[in-house]
Structures are given as structure tokens and as C-alpha cells.
A and B are shown apart, each in its own frame.
Chain A
């Protein structure tokens, strides 16, 4: 019988892993799922789920390419659609990994593990689980909450619930109360990352007072895992530059590395989002900023047009839409927020060291996707090959961290909590803090001759007439500051303005891009949340996984 006992090789069982090093390895495995590892829709960047669905960008490329994303542009998801399924699967992979680490920790009697180690490991694992459940909650509004001790069969029996904010909150609160402030490795979640995420969780539940308390603590006392007090970088663009990873502005980020042997840690979820046709990245022309987003950066007396008149014929940006590559074009010369040219690639403006943006030559199908190309998460020309990864089918893999929470976001979340608590001035100061950084000359894109590339004009808010105006300014500031970073759709849904705002944007985009937005319409309630994937319901039953309304 010994002959027939063949031991596995190259892998380990639970007992071997229940050592300190093993548990640390399992925890690392849970971190490694943050970027989705090639699953475009479960990575934390939420470029499709948050930004495309939020009207900040369309799919780009052309209609036939990756048609599943058309369903996000047009709000046509079905229960059998791929994107909700991919996202569900990828996120649960993260949850399973976090729970694995927690289970190994509970099984371990390794004497090397001090109480402090145990608290830290549990804090990090629960932070990660909180993050994954937060993503499920905002996308699906419900999920079965799994705990580490459940067997495979028991996991399948846990009934999905809409009431999982408490569990998410508890996970972040544990981290906030137990994690150290600083750690040797910059990529780990610390006390303040957990605090910021806790504040965000409270904000999503409209617990303004509690959110204010926690976020205020983060803003006042918070520091990065590598020990820098939180703050804004002088140059807005540096928040999107691999050379400034884990800066004082980075509260919690998906760590990325290029040329490490796997592109799975090189922002694989964002690899499609580069200009087409021999632009940087060489692929694929996805994620083209919308007309609405670009026009939002129009300013008047340095302030954005809060009445949405930026899309009007007199205010909207001049573009090279319909202008051939060989024909002359002069960029818009009206006043714009300097963040426009960090957020939107447009013809004639210097593009990250690759020279002036050539317009249609960077665009796969301009009548379909419009004139703009993505810019925020594209590497600089002089970083190609060092901070980008050319070892795979496209050279768009990069080493720029994606900040799940950026300090500017924390400031704006606190501003929101203040305004909702009727502290309009405190809210205004926080918004102005974000705008002041954007106004620094270091935040301007310059031509080779040292002149600003466009007519940049930005000013502070002097006062808000009332809470409504303050909120309106806040909503706009989040759009301008955080565009393309995956937040918008979820913000619109929680603010209760998703339908009105997205109907307005669809109508605007349809004027220019009739095919991309053909049949687009936002329907409540179903388009507020993804359908529960039919394939999962088929496996677990609709009594365990009830479908969301409208599907």
C-alpha cells in the first residue's frame, strides 16, 4: 500500500502553512488579489464599473471590440452578462484569500507569533476582506458574508444579504483600532488606511457625524505606512506617476511592479486603457474620456460651471472631432481647470513626453469613441521599459500604483461630512485645499517653450450660499479631482442622482457618438446595481442568492 501513497509535490497543506511565515504568505496572497490579476472588472481601479458607468468615459476602441463593455456604456446588463460575473468571481477570490489567512491564524500555535503579530495579521486580513466586501456592496448591494471557519458546503449555504455594512464597518474598525501606524513594508494597510476606509464606509451609510469624527482624525493625525504625514503633493500629476508611488498622498494603494516576472502585478486591469496605434502602451484605445467630462473642466472666473452649462455650444471645448490627422487644428483657448490636461488626452497638448497629442492618430475609431484618449494612468515616455513592462503582448503594463484611497479623496470625503453636518465653511476650506494644489504652477502642463499649454484658470470658492450649493460644488469637485479613478458611478448612486445625471450625460454623448450610445438609457432600479450573476444563482439557488430587482 505504501506504493500507492503518492504525496503531492510543489505545494503545501494547511498544517505546514500554519507557521508565522506561512500565514504571512497567505496574507500576501490576499493582497495580491487587489489588482484583479488580469480580471479587468474585479481590480480595485473600477475604471469600467465606476468611471465608464459614471459617464466619465466611454468604452473607446470600436463597437465590436470587447462588446461586453458596451453593456456598461448603455446600461444594458443582463443577469447572464460577463462583467457582473467576472467581478463577482474575482472579488470572492479575494475574500477567500483573506479568510484563508484568518483561518490559518486561528489554527496556528506557532510560538513565534506574538500577540502584536496576531493583531496586525488579523487587522490586515480583515482590512482586505472589508475592502472586497465594500466593492461587492456598492456594485451588487448584497452579498453572502463569509467567515473563515465555514466549510466549503457551509459557504454555499450562506444567504446573501443587503445588510452587510455592519460587517464591513467592523472589519475596518478592527483595523483602525489594532493596526500599527507604521510598518516596514509600504504596501501594507496601516491604522490610518483602515480609518480612511472606515470613514468612507460611514459616509456611504450617511452616518455623517461618525464619518466626520473618523475622517477628521485621519486628516489631522494620519500618516502613511512608511511614516509620512498625509498631505497633497505639489504637482497634481505626481499622484499618477510611478516615481511617486507611496507618497504622502497615498492612503492605500494597489502596489504595482513592472518587469518582475509577471504582468499580473503590473496594473493588468488597466492595460487596455492606452492610446491606440503606436501611442504609448501600443494598445488598445479603450477608456476614452467623455465629452461631458472634458467639458466639465471649463471654468468661469476660475470656478466650474455648476449649472452644467459647460456642455452648451458656447461653453464646450473645441475638439478635433472629425479633423483628419493631416489637417491643421488649434486647441481650445478658453479658460479651463489645469486638471483637464492631466485627466484627458487631447490633440495639441503635450502628452507625457511623447510630444504633442496627435489627435486622431491615437484613436482607433474617432466617430465611435470620440477625440479624447486616457492620460492619468499612462506612463511617461522616459519611463518606458523601466517603469513599464514590455514583456507581454502589449507594453502598457505599468508599475504605477493605483490609489484606492488618495488623500485628496479623504479631504473631499471629510468636506462632504462637514457640509452634510451643516459646517459649510469647514467644507469649503477642505474643497479649496484640493483646488489650491491644482492651482499651483507645478500642476500646469507646459509647452516646450515654457508657456502653459492651455488657458488654465482656477480659483477658490469664496463662500457657499447654502448647503445645496455647497453640495453641488462638492459633487463637481469630486468629479474634477477624481475623474477616471473609478469613483463616480458609486458616488452618483449614493447621492441619489444617478438617473438624472446619467440621463443628462447620455443625451450629450449621443449627439456626438450615436453608435456608442445607441440604445443607452438608465433605468431604475435595476441599473443602480449589477445583477447577481445567473451562473452563480444556478449553482446556489435563488433562495440563497436572490436576484436584484429589475433583472
Chain B
């Protein structure tokens, strides 16, 4: 027997904690510790060691009688395997829970504004619901949807919890781990029930390194692509005449004709759609004389415009979009001495959206340092300041609500193409010309936000001290948090070009701040007795989050509309608004024990006790245990003689996690509020001033307590075929009990906000899997392919004791379009099922009785009825009524996955990533606006109607073209609006070339040039602009009213070190 020790580093000098060192042909082995140190007893007669580390080339090294061997492992193909878990850094080898890692290169590859978006498809079981808008927020869900709201994952950046990571520069990130099950996440207890994304930013290395400067730059552009097809002006006029006939009219009748297309037997496109007060003018006019009358300022008297007809048709989508330019630059400085380490990152990202005046900017500075104070004490800090702007952002909730918003994109779908963008004298054209209904000129709308500005400045970071009084005992205290201050101002035009105009010029400002802090104290001790290895962690944490204030004001009609003149003092301002945000506080103690025997058997136990200010004193405390174990099968003697598994570890875990996110800080209290909007009244008879009264704003409940999710997980990590293939698979189940639900109070209780109490339950089950296969065809031609996928089944198992469902409504469609019901997944689409179009009166006579039935209109399925007590019977009754509404699909995909393929040949690398979402439906609400003549008569109509039903054209799904809008046409929620939302998208394709370090006389290291295309193609059957349809709420996403598409982009990237 000999003792062998040494350090294990990568080619950059990073330690490789968790790398395995095995005496060849035996089960005797060990793993490198955090600093890369290892020591191993070599059995008699063994002359070689095998050193392996996932993602790195496995080496066999002859011992040659040495007792110290320092080893440098080179990367096979990049696969970052550091797992930053709860309060510690572990190797993947040792983890017993369900953890995915995402490499920094993968994060940085997709140039979106938010790191969250870049997680899409990167880790199995992580659902990212987002849109193409730069700087948008997104819905991120880990392992399904645990609750009806508030189930965003917790982000932990350098040990500090935070609720979003939009401020981070992806280039500053060193490692990202996603903790998916209770066993791995529950150490973060109080806010971890929806999983944890742990991010560690870059830092200097433990060993002394000279200053290294790295630069990473990216420039590119995003192409908006093409909008959907609409009727041309001539087609629109022809179809209008078809509609008149279908309405039962004939030429000469009172209602026959159109303000623009005349009243003849055939429609005539005019030369001018508006000349002063006249519509539908044909022939030439004296433009110079008209110019004298021209007026687009309502303050100067009556409006007078001349708008030519654009007989070719205006492409409104093209008019509101542009090629968006993108730049991102990051300069990183890192280095270390014997007693200090540092990383400084400076980043700038400036990104134009494809929509006019939709811009994202982020400037960030990060400074991470650590100093050794003598032998026993380390102090350090991580600090970031970010200036962030999102201008012209569409959609509520930071942009994530864009898909179900009636925004400028929908506006572009609704403007009749015969309307030009501008009138004859440079003003905007629009629906002020008669006959085109009420869409607003979307170009004017986008131009109108050009001067709006909004920014936030965010400070984020922590300071910490670590004391190591004896070997392997570390006390750590960290105080961290964030401060965000923001300001925005906005202008609103006094419009003139629309049929319905804004009556005044408006201006407003909003500002506010929020701050959070977290104080964490831990003690860690590590000890080994022979083959028994322990480490134990105990800690205490106090958190205050969401403390802030917001205020603002707005007003109208400044003396001058020069934006350099306008402020709140120069407009006639309304009373300002001001509000507090009540903070939430947590106090928690926790402990974690890790044990492993000879790196063969692993056991982890975690216990956490949380108290939250959201709950009353009696319900405040929640205690959440979790256990997990793993068995390294390949370490067993009986596996010694097989070659198939290089490594095989079977894992299992069970645990509970607590959640309180969906609970308002005031949930306990019954409150009255004073509100201008909700309780003011001019009681003294004034015509311009109000008194503000009180109203009950909230009904309190002391009974709410922690929601608990119970997760169980079984999985394995295997490396097979001599390290060429890694397989990670997890079968999991997450049951959320005592689900915090806002009570659905009937109207008799008034409008005060109902408290949330613990009523419902939800079940999520799934399978997460990732397979990586890497090999080399020759010494300079290698490849790596990673396939990851997740199956998900989400089911609401209980809502309240008395009620089984709750609804969401759509835009302009009558009633419920989304029903969240027990036994179904969240956000299930609801309405009448179209079984075809009525072909003739005989069919109507024989069909179930349906309101407004007529040939060419939708025929709905008769599938249910109500009995005398109003309960559903499940039996058809020959009458189509509300009882026949049924489930039409779900926004939750059954499968999401990604395929990453990377080829390296000599200095070239080629990488592509494909993302697929399968089995989800989309509610294409925009069809209500674009597919029916009657819904907004005169607005633009989709060219789908060219196939509309006529007595001659009966083999079609598109109903008759007519003015009526009723139960049997567009008014109800029907399956006509529901489409398959599955898609496959090539999210990027990159070709890179790394120059030899000797190039340019060695002036640079690691100089890599790359070109890439993002979103090169999308395969989908979805008819809307883009199948990536998000939403701002878990309970009604996947509804597309005016979704902001993800479109194709091309980028050039350069990275190098000095």
C-alpha cells in the first residue's frame, strides 16, 4: 500500500472538486475536494490510476512509484459540472438530489435581454414561457405548476435570494444550477417550493494568477419577418359586397353600399378615402387648395385631412417593425494573489426590438473580491450595479403579458390596408376616414412612445466573512441584498387620425424604490473517519423583502408641447398617487447533514424551520424535512469487471417544501382603504373636485398557513461507453397540499380582496432526462450531442370545498375562455366545440336547437345539459346552451425538450440548439378580430376568409362572410380559436473559429470568432405570428391576442483574453 496525493486542476488552473481518482481495476477511489486536493490509498500491486471528471477527458496515469501526482485534466467538450447547491459547492458526483446545470456558454449563446429567457430548453423540467420582446419578463416554472400563482423559482445569486435576475449580465455568470426537488432545494425552504436557480458569478482563482483580461463582444440584428396575410384592398371591397349579399341585401336597398366603395352592384376603390369631410372620393383633386385647409391640431379648429387610398395595400406589420440591432460587450478582469482574489466585469447590452421604439439597454458593473486576513479569516464581497432601460415595452407584468394585450401588433392586424400610413401632407392617416371602424394607426402609436423613458438602477450584492478556526470548520456570515430605484415618464398624443381620438395631450411620471436584505449565518464542519465522510451545516437566516414605495402623477395639456418644457409642474396635473409596499419577513433555522461511505453510499438529510410574517402568530411556523440517498453502483466490487458503466449512481429523494409566495403581506388583516379610483365622490356637487371616502379593501384571515409541496424523486446518473455517454434521468412527483387559494367569494361579500387560505391541491408528475454523447472521430474532430426532454402532467386535484373551478376571460369574446378545473391542467381552454358548419336549413332543422343557427355558421356539439337543480348531467338534451361548453385544449405542453449538437474540427466549432414544445394548445384570440367581417366591420380581415363558406364552397372550416356577430358566429368561445401550439425551433446555429494562441504574435489568448443565427426556422402548424405564446399568469397563459414574436436574428461574436 502506498499513499498518493496531489491536486487536480483544469487547464485554466481551476480546481476540479469532485473529480474521481480510482486505483485502476479496483473500487478504491476518492474524489477531489473543493480545492482540487485528493489523497488515496493505493492497494498493493496497482500501478495506474484512472482520473475522470464528467465533461473532461479521462486519463490513465502510471504511478511510477510517486507519492504526489498533480494532474491537469483538459476539457473533452465543454460541460460545466460544478454544482452550486444550497450554501455549498459540490460536484455532480456527490449530489443526491435532482439538479441540472447550465453552462455559461449556453446562457450567453442566445442574446436575449434576460438571463431567464436563456434557460429555455437548457434543463429538463424547466418551462420558460416567454415572448420575443427584449427585456421582457417571463414565466419560469420548474417541474410543472405547483400553485395558482407565485410559483416562480427562487433565484439565489452568490448566496443572496432575489426574485428575478433581469439585472445580471450573462457573461458574468460562472455557474448555474437548477435545484428541482425537495432534497436539493429545501435547504432554501421558505421560498424554494418552486425550485431554486442558483447562480454563482465569476471570481478569481484560489491559486495565484496574474491579471487576466477577457473581452466578449456580440453584434447582430434581428429581422422581424413577415406578418400574416390580409385581404388586399380590392379583395376587401369584393368581400364586403359578398357580406352585403349574405346579409340579405340587394343593390338599391337602404343598407346597401359602403362609405368608401360606393353603392353600386360592384364595389369601386376610391382614389381618396378622405378629403375633408368627404369619404370615397374618386378622381383628381386640387392638392394645393386642399393644403390651405389642412389642419391636424384640434386646438386650431376643425380637423381637415386628405388621405389617398393605398390601392396596393399598406403592409402594417412591416410599417411598425424594423430590423433590430443588437450589441453586447463584456470586459472581464480577474486575478488573484496568495491572499486575495478578484473579478471585475463591465457589461453593456443595447438591443433594439423589432418593433419601432422598443429598446432595451443594460449597463452593468460587477466587482467580486475576496481577501484572506491571516490564516483563519476570509472576507469578501460580491457587488453589482445595473442601469437598465426598457423603452416602449408592451404588455403588463414587465412585458410578460404582451400576448393577451390589445397592443400595436394587433393594431397592425386590424388596420385596413387601403389606409396609408401618412396623409397627403405628412400627418398620420387613419380610421378618421369613414368605414374602417376604430383601429388606431399603430405607426402613430409607436411614434408616440418615442420620447417615453424608463430606467431602473439596481444595487445588488453581499459582504461576507468566513472564519476557519480549525481545519474543516467554517463559520460564515453573509449580509446581502438589493436596492432598486426607478423612474419613468410618458407622453400621450392628442390624436387626430383615428375615428376615436384621445382628447388631450398627456404627460406623467412614476418613481419608486424597493429594497430587500438577507442575513445568513452558517457553520460548516467536515470530518472523515476512515471511509465515513461527514459534513454538517447549521444556519440561521433572516430576510426582509419587498419594502418600498411608489408614487407618480400625470396631467394634461401643457402650454407648449415641446418635451423640453414639459414636466409635472407645467401640465394641469391630477392628484398624485402614492403607495407603500408592505415588506415580508422571514426568520429561519436550518441544518443539513451529508454522509458518504467511501463514495459508495450517500445520504443527505435536511431540516428547515421557517417563520413568515405573512401568517398569524399561531400559523407562522413551518418545518420542512427532506432526505435523499444515492448509491454508486459502480463502486461495488461486483461491478469491477464490467466495462459498460464507467459510473452509475442511483439516487432517490423525498422531502417537503413550504411556500407562502402567493400570500399578500396583508393577508391577515381586514382593512379599509382610501382611494381616488375606488371611493371618491363629489358629494358637495362640485363639477371638478372630489372627496375621497373609504371602502373595505381586504377581508383578512388568520388561518392561512404554509402551503406544502411533497416531492419525491428517483433517478440515476450514468456514464457509459468509457465516458462517451452520460445519462441523467429522474422520475418525479410533486404534490402540493394545503394550496393557498384566494377564496372565490360571491358578490354578496362585496368587492374587498378575499384572503388566501389553504384549500386546494395540485399534482405534477414528470420524467426529466438528459443524454449526452460525445466522441472524437479523430484527434481534431469531435462532437457532442445532448438531448434533454421532460414529460409533464399537471393536474388540479382540488380547488375549494364547494367549488371545482375558476375562470378567466379573453379579449372581447363573451364569457369564459379559460377554465381551471379539478381533474384538468391549469389554463385549459373552454368553450363550444365546433363540429362543422351548417350546410342548409334542413340540417339546422334536424340539429339540436342552437341560437342564431344559419347556413354557413358554426354548428356546436351537443354534449351536456343541466337538471332541475342546475347540475350538469352529462347527457345531451337537443339544446345548445352554456351546459354544452367543454374543454378544448390546454396551454401546458406535455413535452418540452432540446437538442444541442456541437461539432469541433481543428479550430472550428459548430453548434446548434433545437427546442421543441409538444402537446400544448394556443387560444388564438386575434382571430376574433381578423377572421370575421362582423366583429369590427371595416377593419382588416385575414386572407383565410377567401375560403369562406358559400352555398358553392361548402368544404371549408371558414364560416360564411357576413355582418352578423352572434352566438353562432364569433361571439362565443369556440374551438375555432383553439389551435395546436406544438413547435420545433432551431434556436441558434453557431460557427466558431478559435485562433491559435500564437496568432498575432501571441497578443491574444483564446481568440474566438463566431457567427450565429438565432431562431433560424420554426416548424409549427400554428396560424398566428409565433407559437411561443406566453402570458403573465399561470392560470391563463397561451392566449394570443397580439403576441410579440420571436424572430430570426444573425450575430457576430468575438471573444478573447489578453
Which A residues are within 8 Å of any B CB, using their own CB? 1, 3-6, 8-14, 17, 22, 24-32, 34, 37, 62-65, 67-68, 70, 76, 78-82, 88-89, 92-93, 95-97, 100, 144, 146, 152, 155-156, 158, 184-188, 226, 242, 245-246, 255-262, 264-265, 276-278, 282-284, 321-322, 324-326, 358, 360-361, 364-368, 384-388, 390-391, 393-395, 399, 401, 512, 514-515, 518-519, 533-542, 547
Q: What 7 pairs across the A-B complex have the smallest Cβ distances?
A: A28-B693, A395-B503, A96-B750, A367-B255, A64-B935, A390-B503, A186-B685
Instruction: List residues of chain A with CB within 8 A of the CB of B750.
Output: 92-93, 95-97, 100
Min distance, Cβ B287 to any Cβ of chain A, angstroms: 19
Asked if A255 and B683 sit within 8 Å, CB to CB, the answer is: yes
CB-CB under 8 A for A325 and B259, given A25-B694, A519-B851: yes
Additional pairs, 18, CB under 8 Å, beyond known A259-B688, A282-B503, A326-B278:
A8-B669, A26-B695, A28-B681, A62-B936, A62-B963, A67-B971, A96-B749, A256-B682, A257-B687, A260-B690, A278-B501, A324-B257, A324-B263, A391-B554, A391-B555, A538-B803, A539-B744, A540-B746
Asked if A519 and B681 sit within 8 Å, CB to CB, the answer is: no
Instruction: List residues of chain A with CB within 8 A of the CB of B249.
Output: 367
CB-CB under 8 A for A29 and B694, given A62-B963, A226-B685, A255-B683: yes
Instruction: List residues of chain B with CB within 8 A of the CB of A62.
Output: 437, 934, 936-937, 963, 965
Asked if A6 and B584 sit within 8 Å, CB to CB, the answer is: yes
Judge whether B2 is part of the interface by a CB distance below 8 angstroms. Answer: no
Instruction: List residues of chain A with CB within 8 A of the CB of B669.
Output: 8, 11, 13
Min distance, Cβ A319 to any Cβ of chain B, angstroms: 10
Kindly supply a per-residue 1/0 record for chain B positions 481-506, scoring 1 wherever the CB is within 8 Å of any chain A CB and 0 otherwise: 00000000000000000011111101
Judge whether B574 is part of the interface by a CB distance below 8 angstroms. Answer: yes
Asked if A152 and B254 sit within 8 Å, CB to CB, the answer is: no
What are 20 pairs between A and B in contact, CB < 8 Å? A6-B582, A13-B670, A28-B680, A29-B678, A62-B937, A63-B934, A80-B815, A80-B882, A81-B815, A89-B751, A226-B685, A255-B685, A261-B690, A265-B680, A324-B259, A361-B277, A361-B434, A364-B437, A364-B438, A385-B504
Asked if A28 and B679 sit within 8 Å, CB to CB, the answer is: yes
Min distance, Cβ A159 to any Cβ of chain B, angstroms: 11
CB-CB under 8 A for A258 and B747, given A78-B881, A97-B695, A325-B279: no
Asked if B695 and A278 sit within 8 Å, CB to CB, the answer is: no
Asked if B694 and A22 sit within 8 Å, CB to CB, the answer is: yes
Instruction: List residues of chain A with CB within 8 A of the CB of B665.
Output: 6, 8
Which parts of B10-25 form the interface with A (CB within 8 Å)? none
Asked if B970 and A64 sit within 8 Å, CB to CB, the answer is: yes
Asked if B683 and A156 sit within 8 Å, CB to CB, the answer is: no
Judge whether B65 is part of the interface by a CB distance below 8 angstroms. Answer: no
Looking at B169-177, B342-350, B610-618, B906-914, the stretch in contact with chain A turns out to be B610-618
Which parts of B559-614 form the interface with A (CB within 8 Å)? 572, 574-575, 579-580, 582-585, 587, 611-613
Of B499, B500, B695, B816, the contact of A100 (CB 8 Å cutoff): B695
- A226 CA to B687 CA, complexed, in Å: 16
Instruction: List residues of chain B with CB within 8 A of the CB of A96.
Output: 696, 748-752
Instruction: List residues of chain A with CB within 8 A of the CB of B676.
Output: 261-262
Asked if B852 and A518 sit within 8 Å, CB to CB, the answer is: yes
Asked if A29 and B247 sit within 8 Å, CB to CB, the answer is: no
Instruction: List residues of chain B with CB within 8 A of the CB of A13.
Output: 669-672
Which B residues are within 8 Å of any A CB, using their own CB? 247-249, 253-257, 259, 263, 277-279, 303, 432, 434, 437-438, 499-504, 506, 542, 554-557, 572, 574-575, 579-580, 582-585, 587, 611-613, 617, 620, 665-666, 669-674, 676-699, 744-752, 802-803, 807, 812, 814-816, 851-852, 869-870, 881-882, 932, 934-938, 963-967, 970-971
If over half of A's interface residues share one DSSP class (helix, strand or loop), that class is named, otherwise mixed; here it is loop
Asked if A158 and B748 sit within 8 Å, CB to CB, the answer is: yes
Min distance, Cβ B922 to any Cβ of chain A, angstroms: 22
Of A264, A533, A536, the contact of B678 (CB 8 Å cutoff): A264
- A277 CA to B305 CA, complexed, in Å: 14
Asked if A245 and B687 sit within 8 Å, CB to CB, the answer is: yes
CB-CB under 8 A for A64 and B870, given A28-B679, A539-B744: no
Asked if B620 and A155 sit within 8 Å, CB to CB, the answer is: no
Min distance, Cβ B562 to any Cβ of chain A, angstroms: 20
CB-CB under 8 A for A265 and B617, given A64-B935, A536-B747, A540-B746: no
Asked if A89 and B680 sit within 8 Å, CB to CB, the answer is: no
Q: Which residue of B lies closest to A545 (CB)?
A: B746
Asked if A29 and B679 sit within 8 Å, CB to CB, the answer is: yes
Asked if B971 and A70 sit within 8 Å, CB to CB, the answer is: yes
Asked if B687 and A144 sit within 8 Å, CB to CB, the answer is: no
Asked if B748 and A515 sit within 8 Å, CB to CB, the answer is: no
Instruction: List residues of chain B with CB within 8 A of the CB of A361.
Output: 277, 434
Min distance, Cβ B239 to any Cβ of chain A, angstroms: 15
Most chain B beta-carbon contacts within 10 A, residue among A185, A186, A260, A278: A260
Most chain A beta-carbon contacts within 10 A, residue among B556, B674, B695: B695
Asked if A63 and B966 sit within 8 Å, CB to CB, the answer is: yes
- A386 CA to B253 CA, complexed, in Å: 43
Min distance, Cβ A39 to any Cβ of chain B, angstroms: 10
Instruction: List residues of chain A with CB within 8 A of the CB of B437.
Output: 62, 364
Min distance, Cβ A462 to any Cβ of chain B, angstroms: 40
Asked if A391 and B504 sit within 8 Å, CB to CB, the answer is: yes
Asked if A536 and B746 sit within 8 Å, CB to CB, the answer is: yes
Most chain B beta-carbon contacts within 10 A, residue among A27, A365, A536: A365
Asked if B259 and A26 sit within 8 Å, CB to CB, the answer is: no
Min distance, Cβ A158 to any Cβ of chain B, angstroms: 7
Instruction: List residues of chain A with CB within 8 A of the CB of B575.
Output: 261
CB-CB under 8 A for A262 and B936, given A11-B673, A360-B259: no
Of A27, A88, A226, A284, the contact of B500 (CB 8 Å cutoff): A284
Of A4, A242, A360, the contact of B587 (CB 8 Å cutoff): A4
Min distance, Cβ B963 to any Cβ of chain A, angstroms: 5
Instruction: List residues of chain B with CB within 8 A of the CB of A93.
Output: 747, 750-751
- A146 CA to B617 CA, complexed, in Å: 32
- A97 CA to B253 CA, complexed, in Å: 53
Instruction: List residues of chain A with CB within 8 A of the CB of B583.
Output: 6
Asked if B303 and A278 sit within 8 Å, CB to CB, the answer is: yes
Of B278, B584, B611, B689, the contact of A325 (CB 8 Å cutoff): B278
